Amino acid sequence: MKGTPQDWPTNCTQNGTEGSCCEPHVPVLAAEVVRHLVTGPGGAFVDATVGAGGHAEAILRAAGPEARLLGVDADAAALATACKRLSYLPNKIVLVHGNFRQLAGIAAGAGFTRVRGVLFDLGLSSMQLACPERGFSYWREGPLDMRFDITSGPSAAELLSMLEEDEVARLLTEYGEEPRARAIARAIVRSRPIRSVSDLVRAVDVAVPTRHRSKALRRTFQALRIAVNDELAALEEGLWAAWELLEPGGRLAVISFHSLEDRLVKRFMRQLATTANPVQAAGGETVGAAAQIITRRPIRPSLAEVQANPRSRSARLRVLAKL
């Protein structure tokens, strides 16, 4: 499949590059996302991490044929899958290859000025984990890339070749919350060049006892992925852009998978839901907070969903409404 608009299904326009996906992705908490975002028929929506299109499909089917959706993703391979998946729907669908930190400009360019709902489904998809050439999983040998957008920025291997030991230790502590960050950083620097997944795995193996190996690998790969993609800064920028896009009464839904993301999202929502960020009435008087937190506690997957899709077990859904 080519990356030009005329090669894609007629109801789906896409700007991006060709890619391949390795296995289907099951959307997490799809029913809960629909219940909180689709408050009536029609309307405009943004899926800021459209991935393979599972959440977008559920939203559009619930909102009906008059609804339209902007799907954004940094992974061009995922967009190719989304476009195929959504091609049967009669809705107006626009898919754009880009980072959600650029959401304001992307939405304006696509003609989405006010929307009823915005979704962020953070973290990795099953497709990305299953593709060894992406380097996201320590279970699959391949080049150590870890970029969501393979056309942009340094790969994880390139990043590790540039950083000093102190800098490697800092990102492992800050983004991986890894207690053995210093030892792992020392082993990484001594093992350079680190070009592949197996190179990094061997370095971690040297630094940590066998009983801590699995957790150390998971935290190390998470930390590197966050650093390579500048995920936390991008998320904060994306959340503010999404907030500006929401129409009054519109809703923002965010699914996070680790504590760093969830804390950022929780802090963002609480900030908007306090009277320190008031809504101004037409006459200029303050009428209360700018937002209402719909989910006082995050929504977690049911036992049945976790059994059917074990990767959903750490998901947390938070929802905010604009007043």
Number of H helices, E strands in the chain: 13, 10
Q: How confident is the model at residue 32 (pLDDT cuts 50, 70, 90)?
A: very high
The percentage of the chain sitting over the pLDDT mark of 90, rounded to a whole number, equals 83
Say which residue, 75 or 23, is predicted with more confidence. 75
Q: How confident is the model at residue 200 (pLDDT cuts 50, 70, 90)?
A: very high
User: 81: Cβ–Cβ under 8 A, 6 or more apart, which residues?
Assistant: 21, 25, 51, 52, 53, 127
* Confidence at residue 4, expressed as pLDDT on a 0 to 100 scale: 30
Q: How confident is the model at residue 149 (pLDDT cuts 50, 70, 90)?
A: very high
pLDDT tens profile 89-140:
989 999 999 999 999 999 999 999 999 999 999 988 888 888 889 999 999 9
Query: Looking at beta carbons, which pairs linking 134-143 to residues 24 or more positions away fall under 8 Å?
Result: 135/196, 135/197, 136/221, 136/225, 137/197, 137/221, 138/197, 138/200, 138/201, 138/217, 138/218, 138/221, 140/197, 141/196, 141/197, 141/198, 142/196, 142/197, 143/195, 143/196, 143/197
SS3 of 286, please? strand
For residue 281, the 8-state DSSP code is: P
* Confidence at residue 283, expressed as pLDDT on a 0 to 100 scale: 59
Q: How confident is the model at residue 285 (pLDDT cuts 50, 70, 90)?
A: low
Q: Does residue 63 register a pLDDT over 50?
A: yes
Fold adopted by 5-127+232-322 = Rossmann fold (3.40.50)
Q: How confident is the model at residue 22 (pLDDT cuts 50, 70, 90)?
A: very low
Q: How confident is the model at residue 153 (pLDDT cuts 50, 70, 90)?
A: very high
Residue spans per domain, the chain: 5-127+232-322, 132-229
Q: Hey, do 5-127+232-322 and 132-229 end up sharing a CATH topology, with the first three levels equal?
A: no
The percentage of the chain sitting over the pLDDT mark of 70, rounded to a whole number, equals 89
* Confidence at residue 19, expressed as pLDDT on a 0 to 100 scale: 43
For the segment 273-301, the average pLDDT, to the nearest whole number, is 79
Mean pLDDT value across the chain: 90
pLDDT tens profile 160-194:
999 999 999 999 999 999 999 999 999 999 999 99
* Confidence at residue 279, expressed as pLDDT on a 0 to 100 scale: 63
* Confidence at residue 16, expressed as pLDDT on a 0 to 100 scale: 43
Please tell me the CATH code under which domain 132-229 is placed. Answer: 1.10.150.170
* Confidence at residue 21, expressed as pLDDT on a 0 to 100 scale: 46
* Confidence at residue 276, expressed as pLDDT on a 0 to 100 scale: 72
For the segment 203-216, the average pLDDT, to the nearest whole number, is 96
pLDDT tens profile 227-265:
999 999 999 999 999 999 999 999 999 999 999 999 999
Burial class (CB in 10 A: 0-12, 13-18, 19+), 272: buried
